[in-house]
Amino acid sequence: MKREAILDAAELVLCERGAQSLTLAAAAELAGVSKGGLLYHFPTKEALLKGLIDRVIEEFDALVASYDDGSPGSYSRAYVHATFAVVTGSEGARTRRRWAGITAAAAEPELLAPLRAAMTRWHRRDPAQDPDPVAAMVVRLAAEGLWEVVAHDPEVFDPGQLAALRERLLSLLGS
């Protein structure tokens, strides 16, 4: 519980004040834990940023898995559903905060290694899993772009536009 509170606090600092303001002391204070309590979970700022990245990956993997029924093409459909759940659903309010952690970690290339590995896993799928592998790649890349755009400006698309985009992406997959 404290670990999650610390990660939430770090995201909030990043989102509201920027990467230069993220310190272990700032995260501890906002999370309501002692600095020693924070250091137990995250001994360095780099460990804290890595925790943020790992959480984004774990949450997205779990969300994709919740939509993936194992049928042909289901992974790409699940990827679209998971992306839209993050962008438009109850997770949408946290999208910018989650993205702030990724942006802050971008200054340290070694911190992005887990994200690079996840991107490789998400986008280098076995072509036999999709009826149209190229369409599946295009759809997953479009979903990535949507996440990034909405992370920076959540009001850029209205709900009707997002619903139409979701349906178009799914139709490109033959769904």
Q: What is the pLDDT of residues 101-143, one digit of tens each?
A: 777 777 778 888 998 999 999 998 887 889 999 999 999 999 9
| Per-position b or e across 61-86, b if 16+ CB within 10 A of its CB | eebbeeebeeeebbbbbbbbbbbbbb
Mean pLDDT value across the chain: 89
What letter would DSSP give residue 68? -
- Pair 143, 85: CB distance under 8 Å: no
Give tens-digit pLDDT for 26-69: 999 999 999 899 999 999 999 999 999 999 899 899 999 999 99
d(CA 158, CA 166): 12
Sequence-distant (6+) residues with CB within 8 A of 144 are 83
Question: Over 70: is that where the pLDDT of 95 sits?
Answer: no
